[in-house]
Amino acid sequence: MPELPEVEVVRRGLDRWVAGRTVERAEVLHPRAARRHEAGGADLAQRLRGRTITTASRRGKYLWLPLDGRDSALVAHLGMSGQLLVQPAETPDQTHLRARLAFTDGGRELRFVDQRTFGGLALDALVDDDTGGVVPASVAHIARDPLDPGFDDGEWVRRLRRRQTGLKRALLDQTLASGIGNIYADEALWRARLHWAAPTETIAPARARELLGHARDVMSSALAEGGTSFDALYVNVNGESGYFDRSLAAYGQADQPCPRCGRPIVREAFMNRSSYRCPQCQRTPRNAHR
């Protein structure tokens, strides 16, 4: 899904449905699901047995479930197609079921389902990061996200302007600000009337702050609507989809009229993916970083 709003929807579901529960049995059904756990899937499953999940945390697109003792956590990343579902044990196995946790209370299972296997699970030590937070070691390089109360807007602007690249690359860089992916980058740039290739090094600080504000606003709005879903792949822990796709102005809107000026939105190749923009509102800058 999974950009910040969608991952936060999942985090809230996990906090409600699995916090306080003790793992009776864990199974890892596909090796790629545990490839970030160095000792492998069997080791991961064995180490989870008997551990109690205390809460559900998130930074950017990373989720983690701190375990009793609070010195380690089960880390999850959904990748492009991952789902964490809380379902009755009698629910038939999904085609792409990659891992399963059953709990001592005999209630609903936690399932990791992932078609494309870009996502994964790992057990990791919790460490202090350099911004005063406690995160899994494998997440320590990820910046705080714009919805995090500890996010430093001024520092983001300074670091952005030290980069020599295009605005969208910088928005997607999870070590600068986390949680923003292809959808919300395009939506924030559209709202700010900025081109994806506009240079980071010459953007006025006030314009940069504006762009950050739009990124924050668009992700907050998406979160309020349960996230963005184009199809059944992107769901909360109960398998339900969000509604924000109805509010997208640019992303995925090729040939549709720009909601501001009416010019057709264009799709352009970008980093082996796509970028969508309005050719009128988001003019190509002279010194673009292609």
Query: Catalytic positions, please?
Result: 2-3, 61, 273
Q: What is the dihedral of CA 174, 218, 149, 227, to 10 degrees?
A: -80
10 Å CB burial of residue 5 (0-12, 13-18, 19+) is buried
**Nearer to DNA (CB atom), residue 42 or residue 140:** 140
**Nearer to DNA (CB atom), residue 23 or residue 143:** 143
Site membership for DNA, residue 120 (CB under 7 A): no
Both tokens of residue 219? 């992700």
Site membership for DNA, residue 96 (CB under 7 A): yes
Site membership for DNA, residue 174 (CB under 7 A): yes
Site membership for DNA, residue 136 (CB under 7 A): no
10 Å CB burial of residue 26 (0-12, 13-18, 19+) is buried
Interface residue with DNA among 44, 101, 183, 198 (CB under 7 A) is 183
Q: How far is the CB of 107 from DNA (least distance, A)?
A: 27
CB 13 within 8 A of CB 50: no
* Residue 28 CB neighbours (<10 A): 23
Using CB under 7 A as the binding criterion, the count of chain residues that bind DNA stands at 44
Residue with tokens 């919790």: 126
Q: How far is the CB of 81 from DNA (least distance, A)?
A: 7
**Nearer to DNA (CB atom), residue 62 or residue 151:** 62
Spatial neighbors of 16 by CB under 8 A, at least 6 apart, are none
Binding site for DNA (CB under 7 A): 1-3, 6, 32, 60-62, 77, 79-80, 95-96, 115-118, 138, 141, 162-166, 169, 172, 174, 181-183, 227-231, 233-234, 267, 269, 271-274, 289
